[in-house]
Amino acid sequence: MKMAGLNAIQVYVPWNFHEPQPGQYQFSEDHDVEHFIQLAHELSLLVILRPGPYICAEWEMGGLPAWLLQNESIVLRSSDPGYLAVVDKWLGVILPKMKPLLYQNGGPIITVQVENEYGSYFTCDYDYLRLLQKRFRYHLGNDVILFTTDGAQHEMLQCGTLQGFYATVDFGPGANITNAFLIQRKYEPKGPLVNSEFYTGWLDHWGQPHSTVTIEAVVSSLHDILARGANVNLYMFIGGTNFAYWNGANMPYQAQPTSYDYDAPLSEAGDLTQKYFAVRDVIQKFQKVPEGPIPPSTPKFAYGKVALKKLKTVEESLNILCPTGPIKSLYPLTFIQVKQYFGFVLYRTTLPQDCSDPTPLSSPLSGVHDRAYVSVDGVPQGILDRSGVITLNITGKAGATLDLLVENMGRVNYGDYINDHKGLISNLTLNSSVLTDWMIFPLDTENAVRHLGGWHGNNSRCHGKACAYGSSNYTLPAFYVGNFSIPSEIPDLPQDTFITFPGWTKGQVWINGFNLGRYWPARGPQMTLFVPQHILVTSAPNTIIALELERAPCSDNYPKLCTVEFVDKPVISAAVTYSHPLQDVYNQHSGLDHI
């Protein structure tokens, strides 16, 4: 980034990444934001800090912790006392850590953003902004520049900024640059022109084509911005990864994939692209760029195919996944009500009637958030889905066990619906009768993976039809394990790589206990997941655990091996196999209609 001629980096701080449980803070290892900022300082890069409390960022719930929703009446991003109390506590933790790193204190932080695109949110609560201003000033002092960012439209700056904050705008290639900065000038008659988010690419959704923005569009608009003497932040300059369960979603509900490559000048893996050199050439016309070689892309290694064996189904693993046992409730409880914020919850009841003939299991209010994998007595039945599949015909005898493994696919991160509850958020019906008497199992996948890694497969017992492909073409959600070794005598290993899932459908994958994220090759466009070298080892075998939710390429009665493959090139733009019209939830940003 420095060698491209950039002089500052802009960084979000996701509140939920650092306070996953109320009062439990994480600031070590990959949560060490102070160390990250100090690294920028060592490279003589300035820092523009964006600590929220809301950040959007295509991140789970826009960075807000899901546990906020335990307060059922909370009004997020407002002066609601319940919301302000926890925000105040969080700011009292994060901002004092940032104060020594401010520019006036010898650090690299030159400006601090308050909130994020607040003018795009329905509350338009000036009391909230005033209270944030007061707390930021209390913790950081009066010398730091506090600023806001909003789409370049009058109504957005009207609700998004406040006297005492420096108002900036954001827009992408193809926007009317003159009009955008005229709107900023209405709110900031003096001072620098600033585009705080100039979009070098765009975000993806599962089942939608990979988003790209042409090099020509980016460099043309970038040149025009710099020719006006304006300041610009390139969002994104380097792509990233939504590891584990951290991806966000948009409405109408569409989840973002694990890759956040963004078609940025530096790829998800930090690799140089043609766009990087084109952007550098534009910057070079306006200021001197550092001399010397540009650091090359990191080497990648194709470790090849690895066979995975079936360990256990989710049902067979409940003693490890939920060691405290189920919660009993007459009606379904949400993830929040059982204090499960990410991942999966298993809902179990019994069929109250004989369903020898296919009988409709329905979520009349579209209350499956977000995806439920349904089985009866260990026989897969199919899927209920928030995005449209609200009824599924099932079969089974009266008294049979009905299981729904419900997946949180990522909370909405933008717009009016960020208070996104997960699980069964309304009643299910069987043949129009409400189902009751539920046992609810919150599943601790991270802890379970640590235990499962020591097993060697073939521990699953057979459930008749469940062990083979049924007419529904689903297998029971199950864990699969395999391992591979990296020779320690070969220099420069391990290296970054990408994992692909030939024949697999949808699931979650861990390597050496690290949650890489979701795979969904059956949906696309992302086919490979980025594997950074630091999670791999040469001192022992590397363990892969996959939780396949829909259909594995092998089964107990099917001889084909389940394999994954490590390759040296990413595939994030495969042809999609699913199409669902998505309203452009970001149409408030002018200039994005070209994408």
Known catalytic residues are 117, 197
Looking up tokens 């079969």, which residue turns up?
395
Peptide bond into 290 cis (omega under 30): no
Of 247, 223, 242, 243, which Cα lies nearest the Cα of 234? Answer: 223
Taking the C-alpha atoms of residue 422 and residue 369, their distance in angstroms, rounded to an integer, is 5
97 DSSP 8-state letter = H
Q: Which amino acid is at 247?
A: N
Check if the beta carbon of residue 518 is closer than 8 Å to that of residue 257.
Answer: yes
289 DSSP 8-state letter = P
Q: Which ranges of 364-477 does DSSP label H, i.e. alpha helix?
A: 445-452
Q: Residues 107-137, buried b or exposed e (16+ Cβ, 10 A)?
A: bbbbbbbbbbbbbbbebbbeebbebbbebbe
96 C-beta neighbours (distance < 10 Å), count: 11
SS3 category, 294: coil
Taking the C-alpha atoms of residue 266 and residue 262, their distance in angstroms, rounded to an integer, is 9
Looking up tokens 């019994």, which residue turns up?
350
Check if the beta carbon of residue 555 is closer than 8 Å to that of residue 545.
Answer: no
Structure tokens at 595: 């994408």
Total number of residues shown for the chain: 595
Structure tokens at 558: 């099917």
Structure tokens at 279: 């952007």
Taking the C-alpha atoms of residue 318 and residue 326, their distance in angstroms, rounded to an integer, is 9
Taking the C-alpha atoms of residue 244 and residue 506, their distance in angstroms, rounded to an integer, is 14
Output helix, strand, coil percentages for the chain, rounded to the nearest 5: 25, 30, 50
CA angle, 141 as apex, 110 and 232 as ends, to 5°?
20
Residues 6+ away with beta carbon under 8 Å from 417: 251
Q: Residue 109 — φ and ψ, nearest 5°? A: -75, 115
Q: Residues 165-176, buried b or exposed e (16+ Cβ, 10 A)?
A: bbbbbbbbbbbe
Looking up tokens 């179990």, which residue turns up?
348
Structure tokens at 197: 């988010």
